[in-house]
Structure 1
Amino acid sequence: MTAWSIDGVSPVVHETAFVHPQACLIGDVVIGPECYIGPFASLRGDYGRIEVRTGSNVQDSCTVHVFPGQDTILDEGSHIGHGAVLHGCHLEPGVLVGMNSVVMDGTRIGARSLVAAHSFVRAGGDYAEESLIAGSPAKLIRRLDEVTLAWKANGSHVYRELAARSLATLHEVTPLREEEPDRKRVSTGRDTSTPLHELRAEGA
C-alpha cells in the first residue's frame, strides 16, 4: 500500500487486514481487523478521521473522504462496492453501498441497509435499518426482505475470506506467456456466492 502521514498522524492497519499495494491511505485512517481494501481505493484522512471497522471491505477505485473536523465511519461488516464515494457519512453495521454510488455528508445509513448501485444519497439523510435506498437523488424504496439480507451478509463474509486469502497467497508475479495445460481455478466457485437476481429466479 501507499501510506502517508500528515500533521504527524499516520494511518493504522490491523495485522489481519489486507490493504492492496495500489491502495492509498493518508493521515487519520484506521483500518480494523479482517478488513479488505482493494486496488486504487483512496482513503484520505487529511481533514477528519476515517474508521473502517472489523470485517468491512472497500473495493476497487472507491474514494473515502470527509469535511474538516468530521468523521467517516464504516461500522462492522460494511460492504462498499467498486467505484463508490463516501464523504462524511456514517454507515451502521452491515450496510452495503452498491457500485458507483455516492453517500454524502452527515448521512446515517441504518444497519443492514442496501444503497443500490448508481445511487446519489444527498447530505443529511437519516435512514432506518434494513432499508433499500435507491435513485438519484436516492429515496427510501422499502424494507429489505430476508433473501436480500441473507445474500448481503454472505457477501460481507466472502470479503473477509478474501482478506485472509490475499494476506496468505497474493503476491506480484510476471504474467505467463501462454495458458498452462489443465489450468487450475481460484478457490471460489458458485457455492461461495450467487448473484441476487439468480437467487430470486431459483426461488420463483
Structure 2
Amino acid sequence: MSLYRFAGREPVIGAGSYVSELAMVIGDVQIGENSYIGHGAILRGDYGTIVIGSGTAIEEGTVIHAPPCGTCRIGRSVTVGHGAIIHAEDIEDYAVIGMGAILSLHAKVGSWAIIAEGSVVKSHQSVPEKVVVAGNPARIMRNVEPRDIEFWTWGKQLYVDLAQQYLRNGMEKID
C-alpha cells in the first residue's frame, strides 16, 4: 500500500479493503470496509478530507481531491470508473460514475444515479437520485430502470470480490 502522512494527517483503511501498492493515498482519507482502490488511483486528502464508504470501488487511474477545508464524501457501494476525476462534494450510496467522467467542485450526485462515461458534472451541479445523466454538461437522459440496478449490483459485487482476491493472493512482480 502506498499510504502517505501529510501535515500530520494520515489515511485510515477499513477492514477487508484493498488499496493497490500502485495507488497513492495521501493525508486525511478514510476508506470504509471491503472497498477497492485500484492501481494508479490518487486520493489526495492533503488540505481537505475524503471519506469513502464501505463496498465502494475506486477503479484504476481515478483522481479524487477535496477542496480546501472541505470534504469529498463518497457513499457506500459506489462505483467510480477508470480514469474519473472527482472533486465532488457528495456522491450518495450506490451511485455509478462512468469511466472518464469529471465531477467538478461541490457537485452532488444522488443515490443510484448513473453518470455516463465521459460526462461532465459541472461545479455546484446536483444530479437527482435514480437518473442517468450524460454529456457536457451532464443532462438527464432517463430514469434508472430495474435492469440498471440488476447490472450494477452485479458489477459492484465483482469489485468487492476482487478486493478480497487481491488481499488473499497479492500481485507477483515478474522480473
TM bucket, shorter chain: over 0.9
CA distance in structure 1 between the aligned counterparts of 2:63 and 2:89, rounded to whole angstroms: 12
Q: Does 1:7 align with 2:45?
A: no
Q: Please identify the structure whose Cα radius of gyration is greater.
A: 1
Native 8 Å contact 1:10 1:29 kept in 2: yes
RMSD value over aligned CA atoms? 1.1
Native 8 Å contact 1:89 1:103 kept in 2: no
CA distance in structure 2 between the aligned counterparts of 1:171 and 1:132, rounded to whole angstroms: 35
CA deviation profile, 1:16-51 (whole Å, cap 9, x unmatched): 100000000100001110000000000000111101
Secondary structure of residue in 2 paired with 1:29: strand
Aligned residues: 175
> Within 5 A, what are the aligned runs for 1:159-170?
159-170=159-170
Secondary structure of residue in 2 paired with 1:94: coil
User: Which residue is equivalent to 2:55?
Assistant: 55
Q: Report % sequence identity.
A: 29
Secondary structure of residue in 2 paired with 1:69: coil
Native 8 Å contact 1:23 1:39 kept in 2: yes
Higher mean C-alpha displacement, 8-17 vs 28-37:
8-17
Secondary structure of residue in 1 paired with 2:83: coil
Q: CA deviation at 1:99?
A: 0.4
User: Which residue is equivalent to 2:33?
Assistant: 33
> Within 5 A, what are the aligned runs for 1:83-122?
83-122=83-122
Question: What one-letter code is carried by the residue in structure 1 that aligns with 2:172?
Answer: E
Q: Does 1:66 align with 2:66?
A: yes
User: Which residue is equivalent to 2:45?
Assistant: 45
Q: CA deviation at 1:136?
A: 1.1
> Within 5 A, what are the aligned runs for 1:136-175?
136-174=136-174
CA distance in structure 2 between the aligned counterparts of 1:3 and 1:151, rounded to whole angstroms: 32
CA distance in structure 1 between the aligned counterparts of 2:121 and 2:139, rounded to whole angstroms: 8
TM-score by length of 2: 0.96
CA deviation profile, 1:46-100 (whole Å, cap 9, x unmatched): 1111011100010101000021011111100010000000003211000110000
Runs of 4+ with >2 A deviation: none
Native 8 Å contact 2:88 2:108 kept in 1: no
Answer 1 or 2: higher relative contact order, Cα 8 Å, separation at least 6.
2
CA distance in structure 1 between the aligned counterparts of 2:164 and 2:171, rounded to whole angstroms: 13
Q: CA deviation at 1:120?
A: 0.7
Q: CA deviation at 1:12?
A: 0.7
